[in-house]
Amino acid sequence: MTTTDGHVVVDHLSKRFGAVLAVDDLSFEVRPGRVTGFLGPNGAGKTTTLRMLLGLVSPTSGTATVSGRRYTDIPRPAHVVGAALEAASFHPGRSARDHLRVLAPQVGVPDSRCDEVLALVGLTDAADRRVGGFSLGMRQRLGLATTLLGDPRVLVLDEPANGLDPEGIAWLRAFLRHLAAEGRTVLVSSHVLSEVQQTVDDVVIIARGRLVHASSLAELARLARRTVRVASPDQDGLRRLVERVAGGSTPGAAVSLPEPGVAVLEGVEAAAVGAAAFAAGVELHELASRDVGLEDLFLQLTGERAASGAPPEPDGPGTRPVADAATERGAA
């Protein structure tokens, strides 16, 4: 691998397409040796951000750099950054090995590297098969092999799990963890947190082009609050219980009343509610707790529960598939 440090830094990055502000003063860092999930609903600005990072779209303001350099200033970019921003395009009559052999001279690597990356993604036995007969999962693996031709320090993958079956997702998860364990920087975008939460170390969450959260996955998990559902035939007693728990014994607890005789309390332990009910003499027919899942928290952070949806993210002028841009300049 290259000796560059592999840090990715997005610094006050903005992009406007006419009246649409697709990315709005966005800043975050991605560290080597970790898998970072770049998360947000569809239209949040993820792909536009990645295109600016890879020199496919010019920012309106701000910078995006890899190891302190803009992508367009890296002499042999395919040896530093491997990227796949959309479904890779393959000639259906060409074999997997021949697909890579066409790209190898542009990247600046020998034919032997083609067999190395096919082995890395588990396609050695299919190297001579025509890509037109490949399953979606095999095409995804070949796309990853393409990004690895230059043995890059940094991997940038946009929605790599799209369309994969559970077996394919499990393979992808293990493969990305392996790449990070080698010290590479792995940035993976997704609009579904649950799709990547078993894979990533860190999360960067954006909505409507702006940063809403950036931390380790463990720190994000600590923000999830426990909820307790309590039901009672004594509605007056239940109201007194809620007031006691939310306003007295457990300050700061949030309360909702979804139906008569039922209350849902957030940020409180079931044991505390049970003890308060016993002390107040309130008969309970239900007392159940559950953790707020990370996906629920993700939806809250991005405003997806209440929002009607952000406008579609524009492609903007002058964009093209990343594989073309990376390989075109790889031999420079």
**What pTM was estimated for this model as a whole?**
0.76
The model's confidence at residue 162, banded by pLDDT at 50, 70 and 90, is: confident
Closest CA to 9 of 57, 67, 60: 67
pLDDT of residue 248: 57
Q: What is the mean pLDDT of residues 131-135?
A: 93
Q: What is the mean pLDDT of residues 261-273?
A: 86
Is a pLDDT exceeding 90 seen at residue 63?
A: yes
pLDDT of residue 58: 97
pLDDT of residue 304: 62
Is a pLDDT exceeding 60 seen at residue 326?
A: no
Find which of 139-143, 210-214, 265-269, 287-291 is predicted with most confidence, using mean pLDDT. 210-214
Give the mean pLDDT of the chain: 86
pLDDT of residue 311: 40
CA dist 196 → 50, 186, 219 (Å): 18, 12, 16
Lookup: tokens for 187: 């940035």
Q: What is the mean pLDDT of residues 223-245?
A: 87
Closest CA to 214 of 4, 34, 81, 86: 34
Say if CB 107 and CB 327 are below 8 A apart: yes
pLDDT of residue 267: 75
Is a pLDDT exceeding 60 seen at residue 1?
A: no
Is a pLDDT exceeding 80 seen at residue 253?
A: no
DSSP H stretches of helix in 8-133? 46-53, 96-107, 112-120
d(CA 264, CA 228): 6
C-alpha torsion sign, points 92, 95, 100, 105: negative
Q: In what order do the strands lie in the sheet with 254-259?
A: 254-259, 262-266, 226-231, 286-291
Is a pLDDT exceeding 70 seen at residue 75?
A: yes
pLDDT of residue 299: 86
Is a pLDDT exceeding 70 seen at residue 316?
A: no
Q: What is the mean pLDDT of residues 165-181?
A: 92
Q: Quick one: which H or E segment has residue 24?
A: strand 20-30
pLDDT of residue 321: 32
d(CA 283, CA 125): 66
Say if CB 290 and CB 227 are below 8 A apart: yes
Q: What is the mean pLDDT of residues 270-297?
A: 86
pLDDT of residue 87: 61
Q: What is the mean pLDDT of residues 82-104?
A: 90
pLDDT of residue 133: 94
d(CA 100, CA 85): 18
Q: Is 265 helix (H, G, I), strand (E, B) or coil?
A: strand
Q: What is the mean pLDDT of residues 16-25?
A: 96
Q: What is the mean pLDDT of residues 289-298?
A: 77
Q: What is the mean pLDDT of residues 280-287?
A: 92
Lookup: tokens for 185: 């920087």
The model's confidence at residue 306, banded by pLDDT at 50, 70 and 90, is: very low
Q: What is the mean pLDDT of residues 323-332?
A: 37
Is a pLDDT exceeding 90 seen at residue 207?
A: yes
Q: Quick one: which H or E segment has residue 288?
A: strand 286-291
Higher pLDDT, 79 or 253: 79
d(CA 11, CA 305): 29
d(CA 82, CA 245): 53
